[in-house]
Structure 1
């Protein structure tokens, strides 16, 4: 599967509905607190080259982050040709020579290739950073959190290459500086037709129906789609329908099931239509049975080289009491125990498949999604002791979702950090890459 090109779910260009976060201040310096003592200052400056969407490089120095121009998506020759000159312009502004160049884990991104070539020419390390780890790091950097104290990271977007080689996008992470553990993820949906499913919400709706044993409904529900009659055969072939934990694709499935959008002609069109309809409708009462949280096995740990390891250590008892002080919990200063918390939203999507009123279905989806995410984070706090939550990823452009999480989580005793001046999506990603790389480089020097 080529995950370089699917749309990022809720990251919009000029959408009328957006989160309270401002857009990334491109081309100007973002003032930050000092990184503090220890080995972090010696690891700076670091240049980071972002990813594929909303590409903007970032130079992180002690006390400021300098962004380059937003070149847009790297899906055309003009944008790709501009990547290296923009990176060189940032290098020329650095007060001292850079110590490393950070990039996305995806090896086929043009930004990754430029980063590796520049690092080789300069004789400095090229440091790959997992996409969602970088999303969390960007918010922490913006808030001046340069220490490695563990936090929970809720990274919600359309796609990012995971350390297991699959498409991630609905992630619950434990983050401690340059390390992370994938505590949980959304139950995957298949992408029938690969990248094409990211542009055609009816395919995501069909994937949900097929996974629920209702594949015989696909052709009847989507008679205007020539491929509908044969899509069940595509879904039966894993090579043609890779899995993804993307929340953006769940938004698409919901819009497809409610008949709001079958094929997108504009970025995030389906998700925006869903949000607009829900914003004018009173949400029905949330039903806890519309989602499930289950332990899906060993935790997948993120490492500097993208290697994988698993743990079979037991988790704390299910009835353990959350600790309001992160430092008071036995796992707060070390990697958490095993067990991957899978959040299953398939029951919610199935309910939408039988909903005769699209507006009520849209409102139900928004309200239930927020409640399920809060319950998921609560479970993670019980396991880890972390009471600080970082909200990140392009889906946080959805105002209804962002507002619901920013209201519900503090009410349950969480400290919540979200994007403020930066975009929660990929436009600010390079700052997070630099933040992670700084921690990894500092740890290497200490060793």
Structure 2
């Protein structure tokens, strides 16, 4: 079904999403038209469904497609499909940074045409510097954007595997706090002395420990610090358990202020790098009590939400913006979304987050399409700019053929 927009694109743009929870989107003169959910593109059937949706949406456009929008990651099937279709149709494929697209999706849904501050929090998305982003403070305007700040980075011991093992993210947080010597004593009983010692050495040497600014990985570390799901069987299992503990405690206590007044976070929010290490330090040293896990989980959510909101509010003041947009899968966390919004409102700011569109990757294609449509309509954005934006990816494509070619 079309999603009517205040500023439809006069030049149709087809967007193919990223990797997880993939959807495609066509943005044309009649509005935004989304595909069904394809699922994660690790599955060949999902890849075939994406290609079918992309071709179907292009055929439904009243005008020829002007450009194809895709994620920056060169190895995603969606990126490879975009480049293949662009070559077939003799148009340009334009990469859109993952978190820029998350904020673009919010702006598209709400018809925002003025500069905003964007707070994009999720598990991972490739940054323009080639590193894994996921806790991003952005300035976004139609046709332009820049990164203002990010969360304190953590190492990913073992790379992507760390996203499925929250105990590794706890080890990474301990290392980031200068407490590496605690990794083996704290984690040996749960995961074994050998694995704990190995991860400690990896972190200390930097071997296979790429950095990430991901908010999702900080949630993993917090959950592991409280003994919740050191290993995950399903996506975001640890973060969901942490939210559930916090929600139960807040429902029973009915006094969020009580836990905040007992424990101050001490986080500086007038900086480009939001250092949330003190939150993990507090969880690790939380006093023993019958309600320890629930109280600590609630405090973590509230302290993080306040720090994020104050950080964004400071950026809004500096940039002269009155709007903050919230995007990314971490805002599926109801406590985080509610408390960040409340705190931003207390600063006198307007807050927008997805309502009909997903805040996670299922809504990313709309943002990609909107970003590219705005670029195409911007004065001075010409063919040379479009071609330049595709060049970094063509030499990095895997040699294997597309599964549905």
Structure 1 segment 71-86 matched on structure 2, within 5 A = 71-86=38-53
SS at match of 1:390: strand
Q: What per-residue deviation string (whole Å, max 9, x for no partner) do you get for residues 199-255 of structure 1?
A: 010000011112222222222222231311221111123341111110000100000
Note if contact 1:47-1:58 (Cα within 8 Å) is conserved in structure 2. yes
Report the counterpart of residue 202 of structure 2 in structure 1: 234
SS at match of 1:366: helix
Report the counterpart of residue 335 of structure 1 in structure 2: none
Match of 1:224 among 172, 178, 190: 190
Q: Is 1:115 equivalent to 2:90 in the alignment?
A: no
How much has 1:288 moved relative to structure 2?
A: 4.8
How much has 1:125 moved relative to structure 2?
A: 1.1
Distance 1:80 1:238 in 2: 35
Could you tell me which runs of 5 or more consecutive residues in structure 1 were left unpaired when the two chains were aligned.
1-27, 296-340
Report the counterpart of residue 247 of structure 1 in structure 2: 215
Structure 1 stretches of at least 4 aligned residues deviating more than 6 Å after TM superposition: none
- What TM-score do you get using the length of structure 1 for normalisation? 0.79
Q: Is 1:268 equivalent to 2:236 in the alignment?
A: yes
Distance 1:175 1:119 in 2: 26
SS at match of 1:281: helix
Report the counterpart of residue 4 of structure 2 in structure 1: 31
Distance 2:7 2:270 in 1: 41
SS at match of 1:259: coil
How much has 1:294 moved relative to structure 2?
A: 5.8
Q: Is 1:285 equivalent to 2:260 in the alignment?
A: yes
- What TM-score do you get using the length of structure 2 for normalisation? 0.87
Distance 1:267 1:166 in 2: 22
Q: Which has a greater percent of helix?
A: 2
* Larger relative contact order, structure 1 or 2 (CA cutoff 8 Å, min sep 6): 1
Shift of the 274–216 alpha-carbon distance from structure 1 to 2, 3 Å rule, reads same
Note if contact 2:163-2:217 (Cα within 8 Å) is conserved in structure 1. yes
Structure 1 segment 106-145 matched on structure 2, within 5 A = 106-145=73-112
Q: Is 1:350 equivalent to 2:281 in the alignment?
A: yes
SS at match of 2:321: coil
How much has 1:120 moved relative to structure 2?
A: 1.1
Q: What per-residue deviation string (whole Å, max 9, x for no partner) do you get for residues 360-407 of structure 1?
A: 110110010111011101210232111110011000100001111222
Report the counterpart of residue 439 of structure 1 in structure 2: 374
Distance 1:249 1:264 in 2: 13
SS at match of 1:424: coil
How much has 1:34 moved relative to structure 2?
A: 3.7
Note if contact 1:33-1:63 (Cα within 8 Å) is conserved in structure 2. no
Structure 1 segment 271-420 matched on structure 2, within 5 A = 271-282=239-250, 283=256, 284-285=259-260, 287-293=263-269, 295=271, 341-355=272-286, 356=288, 357-420=292-355
Q: What per-residue deviation string (whole Å, max 9, x for no partner) do you get for residues 394-440 of structure 1?
A: 00100001111222212221011110101101001000000000111
SS at match of 1:51: coil
Aligned length: 367
Note if contact 1:293-1:343 (Cα within 8 Å) is conserved in structure 2. yes
